Structure 1
Amino acid sequence: MKKFDILTPIGLVLGFAMIMLGIISSSGIAGSLYFIDITSIFIVIGGTLGALLVNFNLQEIKSMPRVMRVAFSREDTKLSNLIETFVRLSDRARREGLLSLEAELEDVEDKFIKKGVLLAVDGVEPEVINDIMNAEISAMEERHIKGRTLLEKAGEYAPAWGMAGTLIGLVLMLKNLDDPSSLGPNMAIAILTTLYGVLLANLVFLPMASKLANKTEQEVFFKQIIIEGVIGVQSGQNPKLLEEKLSAFLSTEERKKQGIEEIEVPEGMEEKVQ
């Protein structure tokens, strides 16, 4: 279940607020208006967008707002709940058989779990289940990388276009050295475009891309645990052993919170416990 990730807007607001506070504290509210330059904004945003249009196709560009929205959401999935789900499925499968799990899946929201369990119910070999589900993970990673690359490239292009705006401003300034009144506006273009490019790259595009990469890693981690759980359920593994196996993915603190104690199974006894 997706929830709003409040840390992203807090980070953006905090970053811009600290910058504005620094500007206002040194130049006052009236002086902060000097840091707004429409020409510089057009150069950075227009140049960055133009570079993205050259680099990507129209369909990928259209997906950029959707990709950025992902940085404002989070999956409300707890590893302990995931383990409880597979312990419950394993217990029912041992008592009533794998076919009984179809009814149990009505209460499961995760489509990846449903797919794996249904494959198990259909009698698909564990190796095949592993291959199918890992192929889906790989496809998901590729989709996420493509979306994330948009932000990473925008983060590369924005400072470059800021520098281009700086060069434009310097050229205009040098060509009009005989007109002192034009030096200030041209210098503003020269400096502010670099500032805008750096801010967009290092406060918006690159942090969002990094956050999406972290989300992908976390999702892959959870899906790998799901694969282990599905194969454990299909093989008729003892629920207690399956719980212990999946709990290896929990941190020590989480294990203590769940009251999970480590159990040692003597070598050669695992099959008997099952």
Structure 2
Amino acid sequence: MGKRKFDPFIIVGLSISITAMFVAILLHGMPLTTYVDIAAFLIAIVAPFGAAFVSVPFEYIKDLPNVFKVIFSSEDVDYSELIETLVTTAEKARREGLLSLENDIQDIAEPFLRKAIQLIIDGTDPEIVKHIMINDMEQMELRHLLHKKFFDEWGYYGPALGMAGALVGLIAALSGAEDRAAVTHGVAIAFIATLYAVFMSNAIVLPMATRLDMKNQKDILIKTLMLEGVLSIQAGDNPTLTREKLISFLPPKVKEEIAAKKEEVGSK
């Protein structure tokens, strides 16, 4: 597994969205303070955040600091290196037997792969190994999906509660119909709340949910490669067959990169 590092591109994307909004406001010749309203902020941004808390169990909510770290980071995975590690392990297992892998198991940093290899060393039936490891993958995916659901719900409730903010503003405007300033302020709250909610949901929150979904798909692919590799090792497959089997799971672009790397090594 690659090392997780800060991804500057998410800051670039957020900066573009926010800057575009500010520039659009300034182009209309209005001061930014015109668009600042605490009441609208509370209704359109804080309230949807609280509503999202209600929709997801607390055990997943308390992971939010780590989830934000995941959102703002990226992980470079060398699929070629992972596959070659599994192929090398397959070669050793065929040559020296599965028990020979016990000496190497402590050097495996990835807990999922270490657990799978330990199971085959212990002589666990292949179907049971597959069942146990798929259960682990499903629990990982459930955790990831619930984290994503928090952001989905936050983004979903935002525009709806933004409309509630609009109603609050209109009620304030109508209740002070005799006071022109009160009417103006009430209408401003109505539109500002809607603006806050729509922008927050569509420019910030929902893109974060999409980012979490992509990371989940990547993690599933990595775990699938590990599981299929271990099952192939246990079955005593030819290492070349193991390599081709694992490569078949990869997206076309990654396959091309691996093929290019193989040609580069072969030409030396």
TM over 0.5: yes
Alignment match, 1:191:
191
Secondary structure of 1:67's aligned partner: helix
Pairing of 1:57-136 with structure 2 (within 5 A): 57-136=57-136
CA 1:174–1:32 in 2, change beyond 3 Å: closer, same or farther?
same
CA 1:60–1:255 in 2, change beyond 3 Å: closer, same or farther?
closer
Q: CA contact under 8 A between 1:173 and 1:183: conserved in structure 2?
A: yes
Alignment match, 1:175:
175
Question: AA paired with 1:27?
Answer: G
The whole-number CA distance in structure 1 between the counterparts of 2:57 and 2:100 is: 47
CA root-mean-square deviation: 1.9
Normalising to structure 2: TM-score of the pair?
0.89
Q: Deviations over 1:196-254 (max 9, x none)?
A: 11111112221111111111111111211111100111222222221122122332412
Alignment match, 2:15:
13
2:256 pairs, out of 250, 253, 272, with 253
CA 1:60–1:18 in 2, change beyond 3 Å: closer, same or farther?
same
Q: CA contact under 8 A between 1:23 and 1:32: conserved in structure 2?
A: yes
CA 1:100–1:50 in 2, change beyond 3 Å: closer, same or farther?
same
The whole-number CA distance in structure 2 between the counterparts of 1:119 and 1:87 is: 18
Q: Deviations over 1:65-112 (max 9, x none)?
A: 332332112333221111011111011112222122122234332111
Alignment match, 1:205:
205
Alignment match, 1:266:
none
Shift of 1:56: 4.1
The whole-number CA distance in structure 2 between the counterparts of 1:50 and 1:231 is: 45
The whole-number CA distance in structure 2 between the counterparts of 1:56 and 1:106 is: 36
In structure 1, stretches of 5+ residues that fail to align are: 261-274
Asked if 1:241 corresponds to 2:244, the answer is no
CA 1:65–1:26 in 2, change beyond 3 Å: closer, same or farther?
same
Alignment match, 1:23:
25
Alignment match, 2:266:
none
**Range with bigger deviation, 15-24 or 161-170:** 15-24
**Range with bigger deviation, 171-180 or 158-167:** 171-180
Q: CA contact under 8 A between 1:89 and 1:104: conserved in structure 2?
A: no
Normalising to structure 1: TM-score of the pair?
0.87
Secondary structure of 1:41's aligned partner: helix
The whole-number CA distance in structure 1 between the counterparts of 2:56 and 2:258 is: 46
Identical counterparts, % of pairs: 37
Secondary structure of 2:104's aligned partner: helix
Pairing of 1:21-60 with structure 2 (within 5 A): 21-27=23-29, 31-60=31-60
CA 1:25–1:153 in 2, change beyond 3 Å: closer, same or farther?
same
Secondary structure of 2:5's aligned partner: strand
